[in-house]
Structure 1
Amino acid sequence: MPPTHPPPTELLHAYRHLLQHALRACRYAKPARFALRDRLRNAFRSSSSSSSSSSEVYNPDRIQRTLDFLASAAESKGLEYRVVKNLAHVWWEREKLGRMPMRADIHEFRRHAHDEFDRTIGRLNESMGLCIK
């Protein structure tokens, strides 16, 4: 049975809630808020255009757990806050590196520099039932 798509209003509400909670979690810090906003935009744009894989299917339970994670990151400067802050920092630096011209000798290194980081986020999503992308 193919995955059912949620109504557009439900997707819009999910996007707005995730953005609002992410901004609160990073405490509106300047580079972090732009990195989180851009990642969230790309995630919703790519999943709405081609949601064939099971990891990109809309799942309200995963979204609620992610909202709870971001809410606890916003409440105190504990582990969740540090995770969100570091994720935003790496995503910001990664985007900045992608805009820079590459020398031929470091091209292969740069292509695989964040593979382990991506696998770690995937394992975090699996173990906690989150939808951080």
Structure 2
Amino acid sequence: MTIRTARDAVTAAALYLKWLGFRDIMQSPERPASGIDLRAPGLVAQVDPTTCPATLRDVECLWLNGLSASAVSVFFSLAGYADDARAGADALGVPLFVMDLTGTPQPVNRPADELVSTGAGA
């Protein structure tokens, strides 16, 4: 799915998560203050469609949302991640993916590689 808008990025992430085995994925109709764009049983996901790398604060806020929902937290970004965000995500076990404009997510850390290999059943 080609990404032209922020909504396209969220839809592409939802399709990828469905491919990984997550079910009943719900998209927020508008960008919520929490930053959580996608929810499913056992899952919260954020999609950052901006041109700035995601920050450590972005990753930590997502992780806290997942913690409070007893869910895995997954982050998708078009612009990548700041170095401290990647290190923080590794320490917290948050899977990070980058997406290109064709809508293809690529894992960028060990937790993301593990999610790809195990799928939603992990």
TM-score, length basis structure 1: 0.25
Larger Rg: 1
More strand by share: 2
More helix by share: 1
Normalising by structure 2, we get a TM-score of: 0.26
